[in-house]
Structure 1
Amino acid sequence: MARWGSNARGRLEEAAMELYLERGFEQTTVAEIAAKAGLTERTFFRHFADKREVLFGGSPVLQEVIVKTVLEAPEGTSPLEMVMAGLEAAGIFFQERRDRSKLRQTIIDAHPELQARELSKMAVLSAATAGALKQRGLADPLATLTAETGILVFKMAFERWIREHDPHVWTQLVRDTLSDLQKVLVKPAVQPPGL
């Protein structure tokens, strides 16, 4: 087996995704992933802490994009606008990985353990976003509330995006999701019947 090989991380990701889809996440071992990629288990562990991280390895990059956008937003930008700009910037990250994102979500949706891991990663992303907002001068609880609102918008927009036929609608989906949220937060002038 090749010790290093070119693009070992990408080969491992591809092999893992194929095996998770074919055999199921629980039934797939690190040894099988490494063998399918033509690499060693040792090489696998140079790139990933465990087999779950194959699906979550992009989280630090996503976090970096959102936090950087919040920190670099122009003065006078509202905290929520900062977070939304970060989410929109994340669209570039996703558009380059659309097919992988869809497959990844299929695998996660089928396994409660992976769903729990995704929730944990979202909590880390929210905390990092709140931290960036605090650096910009927004105190708690508003920093945390704004970051959590952003994560909610992100999750809903992502669910819509992976079902869309047009992969270039990320920004519009983020904006539409925020608009939908704002509709339920604003008291209508006339109460609809039954509410």
Structure 2
Amino acid sequence: MGRWEPNARGRLEQAALELYVERGFERTTVAEIAERAGLTERTFFRHFADKREVLFGGSFLLQQHMVDGAAAAPQGATPLEAVGAALDAVGEVFRGRHAHARRRQAVIAANPELRERELIKMTTLSAALAETLRGRGLAEPAASLAAEAGIAVFHVAFGQWVAGDEEQDMRPLLRDALEQLRAVTGTG
């Protein structure tokens, strides 16, 4: 594949994931990723700060869907209903991405540095969701509690989703996990 081919970022992400699965994150270099993608190291660093960030490039999109979903909840929605709207929006992002998500999650699970980066991503998502809930008029600490609960629901449902062998819509799993939270807290 020539260097002039479009979608350099996507090619780098795909090459990195393939190499991480084949060789492991630690044993894969930026030079190898760039070579597999048919690009240069310089091009890699135009798109990513380091080889970890290749796996987290979609974090902003995920956050934007979550925030937009919560913001679009009906005006009279309860905090958990707004969180549910955020989770529905996020579930849509993963449609058709099961195989990719499974491979990515396996790479992350095998490396402590990547697990730490994943936790940072989840903290950032929670903070953004809490800010959106505050913007809807929810005071603290309720906004932060609802956001953290939403992230916990996402984490549990995502784990169930990637553990499955086949592609499926994640939204029913997210809704079920949210209902389980409501049952546990007596708010169902």
Pairwise same-fold verdict (TM > 0.5): yes
Instruction: Name the counterpart of 1:85.
Output: 85
> Residue type matched to 1:168 in 2?
Q
Instruction: Name the counterpart of 1:13.
Output: 13
Instruction: Name the counterpart of 1:37.
Output: 37
Aligned with 1:168: secondary structure? coil
Distance (whole Å) between structure 2 residues aligned to residue 65 and residue 152 of structure 1: 17
Instruction: Name the counterpart of 1:143.
Output: 143
Larger radius of gyration: 1
> Residue type matched to 2:106 in 1?
T
Q: Deviation at 1:96? A: 3.0
Aligned residues: 187
Return 5+ residue gaps in structure 2 as ranges: none
Q: Deviation at 1:14? A: 1.1
Q: Does 1:124 align with 2:124?
A: yes
Q: 165-174 or 140-149, which moves further after superposition? A: 165-174
> Residue type matched to 1:77 in 2?
A
Distance (whole Å) between structure 1 residues aligned to residue 92 and residue 172 of structure 2: 13
Q: 178-187 or 126-135, which moves further after superposition? A: 178-187
Instruction: Name the counterpart of 2:164.
Output: 164
Q: Deviation at 1:2? A: 4.7
Instruction: Name the counterpart of 1:133.
Output: 133
Aligned with 2:168: secondary structure? helix
Distance (whole Å) between structure 1 residues aligned to residue 144 and residue 83 of structure 2: 11
> Residue type matched to 1:38 in 2?
G
Q: Deviation at 1:167? A: 2.9
Distance (whole Å) between structure 1 residues aligned to residue 112 and residue 58 of structure 2: 20
> Residue type matched to 1:145 in 2?
L
Instruction: Name the counterpart of 2:94.
Output: 94
Instruction: Name the counterpart of 2:74.
Output: 74
Instruction: Name the counterpart of 1:183.
Output: 183
> Residue type matched to 1:79 in 2?
P
Q: Deviation at 1:91? A: 1.5
Instruction: Name the counterpart of 2:115.
Output: 115
1:39-68 Cα shifts (integer Å, max 9, x gaps): 001111111111111111111000000101
Q: Deviation at 1:181? A: 2.2
Q: Deviation at 1:164? A: 2.5
> Residue type matched to 1:141 in 2?
P
Q: Is the CA contact (8 Å cut-off) linking 1:3 and 1:43 kept in structure 2?
A: no
Aligned with 2:170: secondary structure? helix
Distance (whole Å) between structure 1 residues aligned to residue 164 and residue 21 of structure 2: 21
Q: Is the CA contact (8 Å cut-off) linking 2:98 and 2:166 kept in structure 1?
A: no
Distance (whole Å) between structure 1 residues aligned to residue 90 and residue 158 of structure 2: 11
